[in-house]
Amino acid sequence: MSDAKGGVDLGGTKIQAVVLDRSNEVLGQARNPTPTSGGPEGVAAAIVETLVEAAGAAGLEAAELTAVGVGSPGAVDSGSGVVASAGNLPGWDSPFPLGPTLQAALDTKVALGNDVQVAIEGEFALGAGRDFSSLLGVFWGTGVGGGLVLDRRPWLGRGAAGEIGHMVVRKGGAICTCGRRGCMEAYAGRAAMEARARALVKEGEPTKLFEIMEERGRTRLQSGVWARALKREDPMAVALVDRAIGALGAGIASAVNLLDVEAVVIGGGLGTRLGVPYVKRIENAMGPHLFVPERPPTVALAALGDLGGAIGAALLGEGA
């Protein structure tokens, strides 16, 4: 048995695995697309394969890992290892015992957690949050996820805390991907931003967004597409990102007014891709809404980058 542990970030489009040593240095990593067929069993098999690859890159067998942590979307029951309501995973129509399935296949302990929460705990332990005792993490991607560390401990509420994307920033406002109105995510989530861009194009507004998407061989406005369109100063991209930043500023400031945390860490696909200048813009957009503006929280970009989710998951496995 080695001292190494595994971590997996299970996403709607990709599965990222890492193997960390005792000091949490990355010994190996691997990434594969999330299978689009085969349902939960297929996803579980792809997780095992990706983890075996990452272990191989570290010169290890998967069974040599002391433990494996998995950050999963959906409703994760960390006790039973069952994942439900994972709508953005293909064919995940009913609750599936992901933890036990992986444990049997890998022959090592497996711990499950919510993907966003796990990534935020990673930032707290090793990344941009490591100097603070309280932290709000905001993951700006397809949706807007969140998570909390309060007094050095994760705050999960009754299991569903952290839904900062569904804080109301404009009562009666835009329809959100969740079906409700005025949520922060209705303005700032990449899926909502894309839907808005498609609607504006239908109304005849010009943009290079979809041209760039096709150039890049994509069918969705992924973070890189937005980044390129901003670089080309595409007016629609600029306007929609401005609108997103305004919503993020109001929503995050509201959360800070309620919780008075020491730090806010911005991650996620768009956050990581757009980087520090846009984190600074979010910080500026929070300013007018902060109730104690003379003592704002530190606002920082997530420091663990693309591997953050998997690294956070590996730390979860440590306690398994």
Rounded to a whole number of angstroms, the minimum distance from the CB of residue 158 to a second copy is 5
User: What is the β-pairing status of strands 263-267 and 153-155?
Assistant: unpaired
> How far apart are alpha carbons 147 and 128 in whole angstroms?
14
> How far apart are alpha carbons 308 and 305 in whole angstroms?
5
User: Which of these segments, 105-113, 224-232, 245-253, 266-274, binds a second copy (CB under 8 A)?
Assistant: 245-253
Cα within 13 Å of Cα(312), Cβ side: 33
Pattern 127-166, a second copy, x by CB under 8 A: -------x-----------x-x-xx---xxxxxxxxxx-x
User: What is the β-pairing status of strands 26-33 and 14-20?
Assistant: antiparallel
105 and 8 in contact (C-beta within 8 Å)? Answer: no
Residue type, 157: G
Token pair recorded at residue 49: 């394969």
> How far apart are alpha carbons 87 and 15 in whole angstroms?
16
Region 174-193 residues binding a second copy, contact defined as CB under 8 A: 178, 180-182
Size of the site for a second copy (CB under 8 A): 45
Asked if residue 246 binds a second copy (CB under 8 A), the reply is yes
Asked if residue 251 binds a second copy (CB under 8 A), the reply is yes
Asked if residue 248 binds a second copy (CB under 8 A), the reply is no
Between 179 and 217, CB nearer to a second copy? 179
> How far apart are alpha carbons 61 and 98 in whole angstroms?
21
Among 258, 275, 276, 305, binds a second copy (CB under 8 A): 258
Token pair recorded at residue 319: 């306690």
Asked if residue 291 binds a second copy (CB under 8 A), the reply is yes
Asked if residue 262 binds a second copy (CB under 8 A), the reply is yes
Contact positions toward a second copy, by CB under 8 A?
Answer: 134, 146, 148, 150-151, 155-164, 166-173, 178, 180-182, 246-247, 250-251, 253-255, 257-262, 288-289, 291-292, 295
